[in-house]
Structure 1
Amino acid sequence: PFTPGHLLVIPKRHASGLAHLAPQDGAQVFDAGRRIATALRASSLPVDGVNLFLADGVAAGQEVFHVHLHVVPRHRGDGFGLRAVPRTPNRTVLDGTAETVRAALAEAGGSAG
């Protein structure tokens, strides 16, 4: 475990990644994560916050190819966290990226709200 109380929520039906996860299974996984996070915050463990983490694909750090959601209790100074160099692209790049995502959603039959 990354921190005391860190656990996994795993759907019973196999899905190697998010693209293969049935929507109802995804809803149940995230609802279970939400309920567990709430319980962890109410517990006697040192919990100041909670991260929900799901890696989808090798580049994202996925090592076990069955969808699973990490519920990671956090407290100041626990040493856990995602580290990145922040990049702030200009408006043209942001707008182009948004249009690319909208087009992919439309092609897949989704909605970008």
Structure 2
Amino acid sequence: MADQRDPDCLFCKIVTGDIPATVVRETERTLAFRDIKPQAPTHVLVIPKDHYPNAATLAAADAELTAAVLSEAAGVAADEHIAESGYRLIFNTGAAAGQTVFHAHVHVLGGEQFHEGLV
């Protein structure tokens, strides 16, 4: 689904510049920006610029782009100085998992001690 955008998608509108965002990293194929409702001191979203509804469809369609999204997430962690202390990467896939914007994205969370609930 190369070079595809969904005109009704919030994140596609951020990619095209129709909706502003605080961009922290950008490549030809990915965009990383601060979450508007942060759940941790560092909370950045990394998205593919092409529209895929969720992480599963992205992974099935384009392994190289999936790897690029994860690589950029690691880059965000390094830039935000949380790589050494630790950080979480979270993909919510589907409404039941808490996905509210149906464009594949990974949350990069860090800057605080997380509970051991998720292992």
Say yes or no: does 1:33 pair with 2:73: yes
Q: Deviations over 1:52-71 (max 9, x none)?
A: 11101122111110001111
Q: Percent identity?
A: 35
Shift of 1:49: 2.1
Q: Which amino acid aligns with 2:81?
A: R
Q: How many residues align?
A: 79
Shift of 1:19: 3.0
Where do 5+ consecutive residues of structure 1 fail to align?
Answer: 87-113
Taking the aligned partners of 1:25 and 1:59, their CA distance within structure 2 comes to 25
Shift of 1:83: 4.9
Say yes or no: does 1:72 pair with 2:112: no
Runs of 4+ in 1 over 6 A off after TM superposition: none
* Kept after mapping to 2: 8 A contact 1:51/1:74: no
Q: CA RMSD in A?
A: 2.7
Taking the aligned partners of 1:49 and 1:82, their CA distance within structure 2 comes to 13
TM-score, normalised relative to structure 1: 0.58
Other-structure match for 2:44: 7
Say yes or no: does 1:48 pair with 2:85: yes
Taking the aligned partners of 1:74 and 1:42, their CA distance within structure 2 comes to 6
TM-score, normalised relative to structure 2: 0.55
Q: Which amino acid aligns with 1:36?
A: V
Q: Which has the higher strand share?
A: 2
Taking the aligned partners of 1:83 and 1:29, their CA distance within structure 2 comes to 25
Q: Which has the larger radius of gyration?
A: 1
Q: Which has the higher helix share?
A: 1
* Kept after mapping to 2: 8 A contact 1:53/1:70: yes
